[in-house]
Structures are given as C-alpha cells and as structure tokens.
Amino acid sequence: MSGALSARFWRAAVLSPPLIWTFIFMFVPYAILFVYSFWEQAYPTFQPAFQFGNYNQILNDPQYFNVLARTLKIALFVSLGATLIAFPYAYFLVFKVKSQKYRQILYMAVVAPLWVSYLLRAYTWKTILGTTGILNSFLLSIGILSEPSSVFLYNQTAMILTLTYVFIPFMVMPIYSVLEKIPKSLKEASYDLGFGRTKTFFSVTLPLSVPGIVAGFTMTFCLTFGDFIAPFLVGGPDGLMIANVIASQFGAALNWPLGAALALVMIVIVLTIVTIADFFERFGKGKFA
C-alpha cells in the first residue's frame, strides 16, 4: 500500500464510526420526523400523505402557540437568571479568590452536581418547595407562616428556579473560562490610561467576556427549551412546555404526524438561536495577542 493510500485509509477508518453514528442516529431520525410531519392522522393510527395540515394546526391553534411562547419565556428567564448569578460568581472566582486551591474548590462546587442525575437534582427542589419541604418548615419555625403553604410548588416560578439551578453549571463554565483568559495586563493598561474600575469593567472585561456569556446563554436556553422533566416534577397545570406536548403527541394522543411537525418547528427555533449566537460568539474571538 502506498503512503498516500495508507493515510487515506486511516483517515477513513478514524472518521467512519462517528460519521456512521451521526448518520444512523441523527440524520435518519430527523429525516423520518420530516417525512412523518406531512402524514395525516387516521385514528387510532396514521397514514402516509403529503399535506400541510399539521403545520397549519400549529400555526392556527392558539394552544400550540401559547405553549411555544411559554416555553420561550421560561427559557429566556432561566438563561437571564443563570447569567445574572453565574457572571458575578465566575468573576469573583477569577479575580477575587487569590488562592488557587479555593478557586478550584469553589469551581468544582458548581460543576460537581453535573455528576448527579438530572432527575435527582430536579427532584431536590420538590423537597425544598413542597408542603412538607425545607422552605415551609423554615417559614413555620420562624413564625412567618402558621400552616404549610402550597404556593411555592407547581407553578412557573418553581420551574424557573429548578431549571436555573439545574443548568447553571453550563453558564458558569464558559464564563469562567473566558474571564480566566483575560490577561491581567489588559485591566492594568486600562487603569494606566486613566480608566477607573467601573469604566474598565465595561470597556474591557465585559466586552471580552461576551463570547463566554453567549455560549453559556445558548446552552442554557436550548437545554431549557427542550426540557420536559421539570414541568413534570415542579410545574403546575400552566407549566407545560413544548417538549411535554410533543411527548404526549407521540404517547397518549397517538398523533405522531403532529408531534413530528412540532418537533421540527422546535428544531428550527433552536437552530435559529444557535446561528445567531454563533455570530455573536465570533465577536472578539482569536484576537488575544
């Protein structure tokens, strides 16, 4: 075997498994979904067709629009909340914690929960917010409440809290890594050129951390957007999200074509967000001297 041929053989050998995997488990299912989305329901099953009825239904039935809007709203609140908590935390770790050891510990404190099952972490909030939960016991013990309240659980606020908690590591990690890469001398140069701490933050530190914020925001947003466990555990009757609706179309409702159409709409929304984020992420990238 000649050298070039051998190199080509090895390249193919290394690349084939992931490509085949992606093709079978990503591309093919999407293609099937795409085909299904034009089929029609014929209760209790469905039959091949080519019609836009499913998409029409999504656009015209306010029920679906409302769920989509709610899902977007919750994803937005979760991402914003996570940013507002994660940025100061990461900033504190990178610039204020002087000891390398404590910085590592505090960083791991955020990341370590990722090793615990998602279900368990979401369930934790059920025990915190529930009628026999920690929050109620605490408020009872200090006398603010006279009997356990059920207002904390099973609503959108509970969902936003839970999802923010669950996905915040994905926000802290990218922000931490961009802040850590900002050379100390850049801030010093800004001070040297007459800027105070606040102005330096807005002129140097914040602009340079945009790629990290965008990356974290995108991840948190997309993860929340596709979540269907939190509505199950801590969401109330008004807490259904788009993923729950899709799941029910493939389950109880037995309307796979509509489910497929909804899933495709969701994919389009997520891809749009990722594309926009990608554009923002390029800002300031690869420019460190």
Partner 1 sequence: MPKIIEIDNLTKKFGNVRGVENISLDIDEGEFVTLLGPSGCGKSTLLRLIGGFETATAGCIKLDGQDVTHFPPSKRAVNMVFQDYALFPHLSVGKNVGYGLRVAGVPRQQVITKAREALKLVGLEDRFDDQPHTLSGGQRQRVALARAIVRRPRVLLLDEPLSALDANLREQMQVELKNLHTKVGITFVLVTHDQNEALTMSDRIIVMREGQIVQSGRPMELYEKPKNGYVARFIGTTNMFRSSVEPGIGGGMISYFGQNLVAPPNVVIGRKNILFGFRPEKVKLISASASSNAENVLRGNLKGMLYQGQRARLLVELGLGEVIVDMPITDSINESQLPQKGEQVVMSIDPDKIMILNEETDQ
Residue 282 within binding range of partner 1, rule CB under 8 A = no
**Which residue among 188, 238, 272, 278 contacts partner 1 (CB under 8 A)?**
188
Restricted to residues 192-221, the positions that interact with partner 1 (CB under 8 A) are 192-196, 199, 203-204, 207-208
For partner 1, the closer CB: 147 or 192: 192
How many residues make contact with partner 1 (CB under 8 A)?
A: 23
Residue 153 Ramachandran class (φ > 0 left, ψ -120 to 50 alpha, else beta): beta
For partner 1, the closer CB: 27 or 288: 288
For partner 1, the closer CB: 70 or 187: 187
For partner 1, the closer CB: 131 or 203: 203
* Sheet strands (E) in 135-226: none
In angstroms, the CA 190 to CA 208 distance is 13
* Cis peptide leading into residue 18 (ω within 30°): no
Restricted to residues 123-182, the positions that interact with partner 1 (CB under 8 A) are none
- Residue 114, number of CB atoms within 10 A of its CB: 13
For partner 1, the closer CB: 57 or 203: 203
**Letter string b/e over residues 53-78, b meaning 16 or more CB atoms within 10 A of that residue's CB:** ebbebbeeeeebeebbebbbebbbbb
What minimum distance in Å lies between the beta carbon of 94 and partner 1? 17
What minimum distance in Å lies between the beta carbon of 215 and partner 1? 16
Residue 185 within binding range of partner 1, rule CB under 8 A = yes
**Measured CA distances, 216 to 174, 194, 210, 211, 221 (Å):** 6, 32, 10, 9, 8
Binding site for partner 1 (CB under 8 A): 183, 185-186, 188-196, 199, 203-204, 207-208, 283-284, 286-289
